[in-house]
């Protein structure tokens, strides 16, 4: 009754038997969540992309499991979030236990006015299946299974690849190659690159268990539970009556022995009770690692996802950060290929996503140190925090069972323009957009729907939008690199030549610290590029050019 893994058909590529290698704008290596998201993104921006994967199915086992609101917003822009949310298990509450006692609970999305939940749980095989379906339905994506990259030769003007298939080998040239081929990345090894960082001396067992249970749809984390003395345990609900259980094993555990049913089943029985009915669906053992490449760009080869960085799994920072890598890289690579930006724009992919990786590694390292104390003094401190957390709010801020994934606001980005005017809050330059409910043409809508087509500018209007402002923002769409403008107002305004929306709740104005006349410019990845208290088309164009890497 388990998941029926698809077998994707091998199709002979046109290069087989060709005398000279064909040249492609982009080749993505790896058809996991990151590679597929990037390919879809590039194709929706009009760029052809070849995806090479050495397998013919989706990932085996649940693997990546928790997907955050920002990642779902990215997939919504790519046209594939709806089936993921429909299939996934939605949650936003987490609970922390010390022994048998609950000491802390948190709500990851206590406020309303968001289209997507804080998180969904969805097995990676389901997720990849949805992405494969979307990729196959997207013009410009050439998805090739059982095409293994056997050699890579970077050059100044591109990259040569040799590929092995069941029907023989072939060669292709790419202007750009993006390696999304996982933690053991053959591309990384072929280029002689290595990670820097920490490998923690601890191991955890993942057991996916099929059972009917009445546990709530929440994240439960135990420190020192009575059923697993000396370790930690995590429980998550997945679709299809599958439950994820993680057990801390310790560094001395034998990974192969611990995966055997005769070891796994007694652990679960001690947790659920001797009469509990369940069956094992998938078992794995992993080691905590917090490491990354020194640089994510190496000439015409770029790295994204686990091939570029690795973090410990608590906090759901692996797959989410990888998809956000793709979100950052897709529009930049498309702009370079279209001649809208210099090649040096891709250096900002390195600087921004290294900043994100360092943020994720810092949070993951702190969580790992709290979950797995390295000495008796650290353990006593941790246990004291957990004891205090039940009654003392200050201690709850110190409890760390994994700080859950949040998108990075690129505070040091060279692509951001300084504020024009004074802002007391809102969404600063470099940070991702915040969604808000709106009304358009009498129907409910969302703010992010106004930001799906390249550079976008929102003009927050008062009771009446000045006619010259309407003309000015409409003209921005005629630039060689257009800026698509829209008006957000507290009241209905008819006859404007740009999309208009009504902010009946006031949340959009509040979340952007907007007053009438405020303008916010967004990059194609929906991060803020600039904001101003007044409309100045020339300033918007300068900010767009800066975001494209054209000006300092």
pLDDT digits (tens, 9 = 90+) for 256-312: 999 999 999 999 999 999 999 999 999 999 888 899 999 999 999 999 999 999 998
Q: Tens of pLDDT along 17-31?
A: 888 889 999 999 999
Angle in degrees, 0-180, between the axes of helices 467-475 and 537-547, rounded to the nearest 10: 30
> What pLDDT sits at residue 339?
96
Q: Tens of pLDDT along 156-212?
A: 999 999 999 999 999 999 999 999 999 999 999 999 999 999 888 788 999 999 999
Rg (CA), the chain: 25
HSE at residue 16, side-chain half, CA atoms within 13 A, is 13
pTM of the model: 0.96
Query: To which residue do tokens 């950060």 refer?
Result: 321
Q: Tens of pLDDT along 475-517?
A: 999 999 999 999 999 988 878 889 999 999 999 999 999 999 9
Q: Which of the four pLDDT bands, split at 50, 70 and 90, describes residue 250?
A: confident
Q: Which stretches does DSSP call E strand in 431-527?
A: 437-440, 443-446, 455-461, 483-489, 500-502, 519-522
Task: Assess contact for 30 and 181: CB atoms under 8 A.
Answer: yes
* pLDDT exceeds cutoff 60 at 361: yes
> What pLDDT sits at residue 289?
87
End-to-end Cα, the chain, rounded Å: 58
Greatest mean pLDDT range, 71-80, 373-382, 460-469: 71-80
The CATH T-level fold of domain 437-547 is Glutaredoxin (3.40.30)
CA–CA gap between residue 8 and residue 170 (Å, rounded): 20
Reduce the DSSP state of residue 434 to 3 states and report it: coil
Query: Residue 192, exposed/middle/buried by CB under 10 A (0-12, 13-18, 19+)?
Result: exposed
Q: Which of the four pLDDT bands, split at 50, 70 and 90, describes residue 333?
A: very high
> What pLDDT sits at residue 544?
98
pLDDT (mean) for 86-90: 97
Query: Residue 29, exposed/middle/buried by CB under 10 A (0-12, 13-18, 19+)?
Result: buried
H/E/C letters for each residue in 186-215? HHHHHCCCCCEEEEEEEEEEEEEEECCCCC
Chain centroid to Cα 162, Å, comes to 30
Q: For the chain, what is the mean pLDDT?
A: 94
Alpha helix (H) residue ranges in 227-344: 255-258, 261-272, 318-337
Reduce the DSSP state of residue 235 to 3 states and report it: strand
Helices H / strands E in the chain, number of each: 14, 26
For 181, phi and psi rounded to 5 degrees?
Answer: -100, 30
CA–CA gap between residue 515 and residue 499 (Å, rounded): 19
CA–CA gap between residue 288 and residue 365 (Å, rounded): 9
- If you ran DSSP here, which 8-state letter would residue 476 be given? G
Q: Tens of pLDDT along 317-328?
A: 889 999 999 999
Could you tell me the sign of the dihedral formed by the alpha carbons of 508, 513, 515, 517, in that order? Answer: negative
* pLDDT exceeds cutoff 70 at 76: yes
Pairing of strands 219-223, 148-155: unpaired
> What pLDDT sits at residue 226?
95
Reduce the DSSP state of residue 472 to 3 states and report it: helix
Q: Tens of pLDDT along 302-312?
A: 999 999 999 98
Q: Which of the four pLDDT bands, split at 50, 70 and 90, describes residue 470?
A: confident
Structural tokens at position 390: 């039940």
User: b/e per residue, 468-491, with b = 16+ CB within 10 A?
Assistant: ebbebbeebbeeebebbbbbbbbe
Helix (H) or strand (E) holding 22: strand 22-29
* Domain 22-84+121-194+291-367, CATH homologous superfamily name and number: FAD/NAD(P)-binding domain (3.50.50.60)
Determine what percent of the chain is predicted with pLDDT higher than 90: 85
- If you ran DSSP here, which 8-state letter would residue 417 be given? P
Q: Tens of pLDDT along 93-148?
A: 999 999 999 999 999 999 999 999 999 999 999 999 999 999 999 999 999 999 99
Chain centroid to Cα 219, Å, comes to 19
pLDDT (mean) for 325-341: 98
CA–CA gap between residue 43 and residue 27 (Å, rounded): 12
CA–CA gap between residue 214 and residue 97 (Å, rounded): 18
Of residues 462 and 171, more confidence is placed in: 171
Could you tell me the sign of the dihedral formed by the alpha carbons of 220, 221, 225, 228, in that order? Answer: positive
> What pLDDT sits at residue 552?
62
Looking at the chain, how many residues does it have? 552
Q: In the chain, what are the domain boundaries? A: 22-84+121-194+291-367, 437-547
For 359, phi and psi rounded to 5 degrees?
Answer: -65, -45
Pairing of strands 22-29, 168-179: parallel
């Amino acid at each position: 009754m388990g998941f029926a893994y698809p077998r994707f058909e091998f199709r002979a590529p046109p290069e087989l038997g060709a005398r000279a290698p064909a040249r492609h704008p982009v080749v993505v290596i790896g058809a996991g969540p990151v590679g597929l998201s990037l390919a879809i993104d590039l194709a929706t921006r009009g760029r052809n992309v070849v995806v090479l994967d050495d397998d013919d199915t989706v990932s085996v086992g649940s693997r990546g499991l928790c997907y955050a609101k920002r990642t779902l917003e990215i997939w919504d822009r790519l046209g594939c979030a709806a089936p993921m949310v429909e299939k996934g298990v939605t949650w936003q509450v987490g609970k922390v236990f010390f022994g048998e006692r609950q000491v802390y609970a948190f709500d990851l999305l206590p406020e309303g006015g968001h289209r997507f939940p804080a998180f969904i749980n969805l097995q990676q095989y389901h997720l990849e299946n949805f992405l494969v379906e979307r990729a196959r339905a997207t013009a410009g994506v050439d998805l090739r299974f059982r095409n293994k990259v056997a050699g890579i030769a970077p050059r100044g003007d591109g990259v040569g690849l040799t590929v092995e298939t069941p029907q023989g080998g072939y060669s292709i040239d790419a202007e750009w190659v993006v390696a999304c081929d996982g933690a053991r990345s053959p591309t990384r090894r072929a280029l002689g690159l290595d990670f820097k960082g920490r490998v923690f001396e601890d191991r955890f067992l993942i057991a996916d268990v099929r059972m009917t249970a009445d546990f709530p749809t929440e994240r439960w984390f135990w420190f020192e539970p009575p059923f697993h003395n000396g370790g930690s345990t995590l429980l998550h609900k997945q679709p299809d009556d599958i439950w994820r259980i993680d057990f801390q094993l310790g560094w001395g555990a034998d990974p192969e022995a611990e995966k055997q049913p005769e070891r796994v089943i007694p652990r679960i029985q001690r947790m659920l009770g001797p009469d509990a009915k369940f069956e094992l669906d998938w078992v794995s053992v992993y080691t905590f690692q917090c490491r990354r490449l020194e640089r994510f760009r190496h000439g015409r080869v770029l790295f994204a996802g686990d091939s570029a960085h690795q973090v410990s799994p608590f906090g759901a920072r692996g797959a989410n950060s990888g998809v956000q890598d793709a979100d950052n890289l897709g529009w930049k690579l498309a702009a370079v290929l279209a001649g809208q930006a210099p090649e040096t724009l891709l250096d900002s992919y390195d600087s921004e996503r290294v900043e994100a990786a360092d943020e994720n590694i810092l949070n993951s390292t702190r969580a790992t140190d709290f979950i797995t104390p390295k000495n008796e003094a650290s353990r006593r401190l941790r246990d004291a925090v957990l004891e205090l957390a039940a009654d003392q709010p200050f201690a709850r801020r110190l409890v760390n069972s994994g700080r859950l994934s949040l998108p990075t606001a690129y505070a040091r980005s060279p692509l951001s323009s300084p504020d024009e005017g004074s802002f007391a809050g809102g969404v600063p330059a470099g940070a991702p957009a915040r969604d808000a409910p709106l009304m358009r043409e009498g129907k409910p809508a969302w703010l992010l729907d106004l930001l799906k087509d390249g550079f976008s500018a929102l003009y927050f209007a008062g009771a009446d939008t000045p006619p010259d402002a309407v003309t000015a923002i409409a003209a921005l769409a005629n630039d060689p690199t257009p800026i698509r403008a829209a008006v957000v107002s507290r009241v209905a305004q008819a006859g404007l030549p740009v999309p208009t929306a009504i902010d009946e709740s006031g949340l959009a104005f509040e979340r952007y610290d907007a007053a009438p006349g405020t303008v916010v410019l967004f990059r194609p990845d929906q991060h803020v590029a600039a904001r101003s208290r007044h409309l100045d088309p020339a300033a918007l164009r300068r900010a767009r050019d800066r975001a494209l890497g054209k000006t300092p």
